[in-house]
């Protein structure tokens, strides 16, 4: 570390730089410039490292906001992630080292992965799944989740993975929006020593849904579950009769690969659609330069496949690179907070990618859980999901990285498909709290309301000015919302929805969301979603939800609720409402604090002023402009109700 003025700069280690693909800032700058001046040349070079069954005619067809990448090219995404390695020198290399929460272990080589994926592709085909059909995947973090995704990709079906922590209602909403008629799930999964009843949730979600043609159930936990004749099938029984041979057909570069739902500023999650050739090129290229993946690495990303990180940096990018990766099913503190460190020691993990919220939980648990373990196999650390606070950064660097591992703080989104802003570990000087500089081909900037770049250290809107291969193509079934959400602030420019500033060296400091989206433990949660869950309860008249800073989660969910006539505030109703939100959305959305309010602060036109509520929960008082308020006494009443708990 060196001190430059008041700032704290960490230079990449000499040893690391020497071996890295990009080993100096001069090299980064040269390549970045080229990638911005001639993006098509840069991306074509990267894409040509993948296997294409038919070459593209044109690298990019761009009519904002519609991008087509590698136009006319054909490839099979699954073949690139599996077959390419399964028949060459990597055939007996571990693709996946799996550890279940109870401690069971399994290693799957590339050759075995190929067999399993082909077999499951044949299972899907036998169920009648065709190209472009949507398949909903609701699985624990086990290799079969990845196998199911890859099998869909192999036959051109579009997967829509739903995070295993989401509720039955969330599944049914996503089924309705995506029109999926097939579901892949498991009897359950292990989490904190308990079974997550996945199949039971699916049953509840589809009880009245006649459109579902099949539910394929992997046996993970072995407990009794209901199986509906004709509709539900055991994975192992279908696989037993399916051939392990499957010839992968080529699909168009713009063939849809998956839909992943993410929260926005309305109550309805957005189905972010990604396509094939560009997405794979983006995830592959970022794995190569940002994680600097090598054949002898053991890579571990602790995300769940239910989030974009699990798509891009578990299922697709790392496998396209042919790396060995660890997949872990359970909670970080099962049986105790030493679990991750023990796994890093035992599997000799060399690249570790996790979230700031997890790091903060480890800091709180105490260093003794870390100190017992030999973490000398680590060479690179990554962070994703929210701004990493400098204290957590330093601890991660010192305690986990032994002071020798570079940290890549990677900024990106479900919509961007791949990492957009990040240090390159062998080149970029880092500073705790900044994601540093844009990746190759990424023209990121911070703009003011008029579309002008702001001055150094001024806050503005984070945008991307040029198209990139892994960008989302649309919101499934809602092109108008796609245009409005991402492309209406400035013509032809993508707005990320984050505020940011750049320092005088050009480093990006991400400040937070500009919309009504919270970041709870690195997961996006729309305040409108929680509000609509609350008002669906019979006792609730109105609800307003805001975020409050939280030491562990980044942001905690705070709800203000007014009750209908005939209902009175009580601790029992408070917990009933919290559980109701858990049931409608999932446990991550349960409000941390729930206040009963006699009224909500509103403008004269009846709009709830969330800004005041935010200030109230953050500071305990309201000092800002309240002249637009319809009824001034509301603030006083709310202040009292917060003090009263
Ligand atoms: O606010 C930013 C924050 O997470 C949002 C994207 O959330 P999601 O689509 O769920 O994807 C999360 C994993 C890529 C962004 O708009 N965010 C993500 N990474 C960072 C971050 N904020 C600051 N620093 C990061 N490294």
Q: Which of 325-334, 580-589, 595-604 has the lowest mean pLDDT?
A: 595-604
pLDDT, position 634:
82
Cβ of 412 below 6 Å from ligand 1: yes
Q: Is 290 in the pocket of ligand 1 (CB under 6 A)?
A: no
**Does ligand 1 come within 6 angstroms of the Cβ of 413?**
yes
Domain that holds residue 229: 13-331+410-514
**What are phi and psi for residue 508, nearest 5 degrees?**
-90, 130
Encode pLDDT of 171-200 as tens digits. 999 999 999 999 999 999 999 999 999 999
Q: Is residue 513 within 6 Å of ligand 1 at its C-beta?
A: yes
Residue-wise pLDDT tens digits, 480-493:
999 999 999 999 99
The answer to whether residue 404 sits within a structural domain is no
Residues 52 and 193 both lie in one domain: yes
User: Going by CA atoms, what residue is nearest to atom 2 of ligand 1?
Assistant: 386
Q: Are residues 282 and 307 in the same domain?
A: yes
Does one domain contain both 51 and 139?
yes
**Cα–Cα distance between 512 and 498 in angstroms, integer?**
5
Do residues 490 and 556 both lie within one domain? no
- Residue 156 has phi, psi (to 5 degrees) of 80, 10
558-581 pLDDT, tens per residue? 999 999 999 999 999 999 999 999
Pocket test for ligand 1, best of 311, 359, 507, 524 (most atoms within 8 A of CB): 524
* Atom of ligand 1 at shortest range from CA of 497: 16
How many Å lie between the centroid of ligand 1 and the Cα of residue 413?
A: 5
Judge if 196 and 234 occupy the same domain. Answer: yes
Q: Per the domain annotation, does 384 fall within a domain?
A: no
Residue 562 belongs to some domain of the structure: yes
User: What CA–CA distance (Å, rounded) separates 482 from 486?
Assistant: 6
CB of 411 within 6 A of ligand 1: the answer is: yes
479 and 612 housed in the same domain: no
Q: How far is the CA of 519 from the centre of ligand 1 (A)?
A: 8
Same domain, residue pair 453 and 521 = no
Of 97, 196, 223, the closest CA to residue 139 belongs to 196
Q: What is the pLDDT of residues 289-302, one digit of tens each?
A: 999 999 999 999 99
Please state the φ and ψ torsions of residue 443, each to the nearest 5 degrees: -100, 75
Residue 50 within a domain: yes
CA of 522 to the centre of ligand 1 (A): 7
438 domain residue, yes or no:
yes
Residue 374 maps to a domain: no
Residue of minimum CA distance from atom 4 in ligand 1: 385
Backbone angles phi, psi at 259, to 5 degrees: -115, 135
Whole-number Å distance, alpha carbon 510 to ligand 1 midpoint, is 9
572 and 506 in one domain?
A: no
Share of the chain above pLDDT 90, in %: 90
Overall domain count for the chain? 2
**CATH code at 289?**
3.40.50.12780
Assign residue 585 the CATH number of its domain.
3.30.300.30
Last residue of a domain, one of 514, 541, 569: 514
**Coil, strand or helix at 642:** helix
Strand ranges (DSSP E) for 20-133?
A: 58-63, 66-71, 74-75, 94-99, 105-109
Could you tell me if 453 and 569 lie in one domain?
no
Alpha-carbon radius of gyration of the chain: 24
Residue 267, pLDDT score: 84
Residue 6 has pLDDT above 80, yes or no: no
* Contact present, 285 and 294 (Cβ < 8 Å): no
Cα of 386 vs centre of ligand 1, distance in Å, is: 5
Ligand 1 close to Cβ of residue 270 (< 6 A): no
**Does ligand 1 have an atom closer than 6 angstroms to the CB of 264?**
no
Let me know if residue 361 belongs to a domain: no
- Quick one: pLDDT band at residue 631, thresholds 50, 70, 90? confident
Last residue of a domain, one of 484, 499, 514: 514
Q: Is 286's C-beta closer than 6 angstroms to any atom of ligand 1?
A: no
Cβ-based burial of 168 (10 A; exposed 0-12, middle 13-18, buried ≥19) = buried
Q: Are residues 540 and 502 in the same domain?
A: no
Last residue of one domain, picked from the residues 481, 514, 547? 514
CA 466, distance to chain mean position in Å, is: 22
Candidates 259, 262, 386: which one to mutate for ligand 1, based on the most atoms within 8 Å of Cβ?
386
Residue 420 maps to a domain: yes
Torsion of CA 290, 293, 299, 304, to 10 degrees: 50
The reply to whether 165 and 250 lie within a common domain is: yes
Whose CA is closest to 268, among 475, 543, 518, 473?
475
Give yes or no for residue 272 CB within 6 A of ligand 1. Answer: no
| Co-location of 283 and 304 in the same domain | yes
């Amino acid at each position: 570390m060196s001190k430059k003025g008041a700032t704290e700069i960490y230079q990449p280690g000499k040893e690391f730089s020497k071996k890295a693909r990009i080993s100096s800032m001069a090299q980064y700058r040269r390549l970045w410039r080229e990638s911005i001046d001639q993006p098509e040349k840069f991306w074509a070079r990267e894409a040509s490292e993948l296997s294409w069954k038919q070459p593209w005619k044109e690298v990019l067809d761009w009519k904002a906001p519609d991008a087509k990448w590698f136009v006319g090219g054909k490839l099979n995404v699954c073949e690139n992630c599996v077959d390419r390695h399964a028949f060459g020198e990597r055939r007996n290399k571990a693709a996946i080292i799996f550890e279940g929460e109870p401690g069971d272990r399994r290693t799957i080589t590339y050759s075995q992965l190929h067999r399993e994926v082909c077999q499951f592709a044949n299972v899907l085909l036998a169920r009648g799944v065709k190209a472009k059909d949507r398949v909903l995947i609701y699985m624990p973090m086990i290799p079969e989740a990845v196998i199911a995704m890859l099998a869909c990709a192999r036959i051109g079906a579009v997967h829509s993975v739903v995070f295993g922590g989401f509720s039955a209602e969330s599944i049914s909403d996503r089924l309705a929006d995506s029109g999926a008629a097939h579901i892949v799930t498991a009897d359950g999964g292990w989490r904190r020593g308990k079974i997550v009843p996945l199949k039971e949730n699916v049953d509840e979600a589809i009880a009245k849904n006649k459109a579902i043609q099949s539910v394929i159930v992997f046996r993970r936990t072995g407990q009794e579950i209901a199986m509906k004749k004709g509709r539900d099938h055991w994975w192992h029984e279908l696989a037993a009769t399916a051939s392990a041979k499957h010839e992968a057909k080529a699909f168009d570069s713009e063939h849809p690969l998956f839909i992943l739902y993410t929260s926005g500023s309305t109550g309805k999650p957005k189905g972010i659609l990604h396509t094939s050739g560009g997405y794979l090129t983006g995830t592959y290229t970022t794995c190569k330069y940002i994680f600097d993946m090598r054949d002898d690495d053991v890579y571990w990303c602790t995300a769940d496949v239910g989030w974009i990180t699990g798509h891009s940096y578990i299922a697709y990018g790392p496998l396209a690179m042919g790396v060995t990766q660890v997949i872990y099913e359970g909670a970080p503190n099962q049986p105790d907070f030493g679990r991750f460190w023990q796994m890093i020691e035992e599997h000799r993990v060399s690249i570790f990618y996790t979230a700031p919220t997890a790091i903060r939980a480890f800091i709180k648990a105490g260093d003794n859980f870390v100190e017992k373990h030999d973490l000398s196999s680590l060479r690179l650390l990554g962070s994703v999901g929210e701004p990493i606070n400098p204290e957590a950064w330093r601890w991660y660097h010192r305690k986990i990285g032994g002071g020798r591992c570079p940290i890549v703080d990677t900024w990106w989104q479900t919509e961007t498909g791949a990492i957009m802003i990040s240090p390159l570990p062998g080149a970029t000087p880092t500073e705790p709290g900044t994601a540093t500089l844009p990746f190759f081909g990424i023209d990121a900037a911070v703009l003011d309301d008029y579309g002008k770049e702001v001055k150094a250290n001024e806050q503005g809107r984070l945008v991307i000015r040029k198209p990139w291969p892994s960008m989302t193509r649309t919101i499934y079934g809602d092109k108008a919302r796609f245009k409005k959400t991402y492309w209406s602030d400035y013509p032809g420019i993508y707005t990320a929805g984050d505020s940011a500033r750049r320092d005088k060296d050009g480093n990006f400091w991400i400040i937070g969301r500009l919309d009504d989206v919270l970041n709870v433990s690195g997961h996006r949660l729309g305040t409108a979603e929680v509000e609509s869950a609350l008002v669906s309860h019979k006792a609730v008249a109105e609800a307003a939800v805001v975020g409050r800073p939280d030491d562990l989660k980044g942001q905690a969910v705070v709800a203000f609720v007014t009750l209908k006539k005939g209902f009175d505030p009580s601790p029992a109703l408070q917990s009933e409402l919290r559980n109701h939100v858990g049931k409608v959305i999932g446990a991550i959305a349960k409000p941390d604090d729930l206040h009963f309010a006699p009224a909500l602060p509103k403008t004269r036109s009846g709009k709830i002023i969330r800004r005041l509520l935010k200030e109230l929960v953050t500071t305990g008082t309201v000092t800002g402009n309240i002249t637009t308020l319809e009824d001034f006494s509301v603030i006083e009443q709310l202040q009292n109700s917060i003090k009263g708990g």
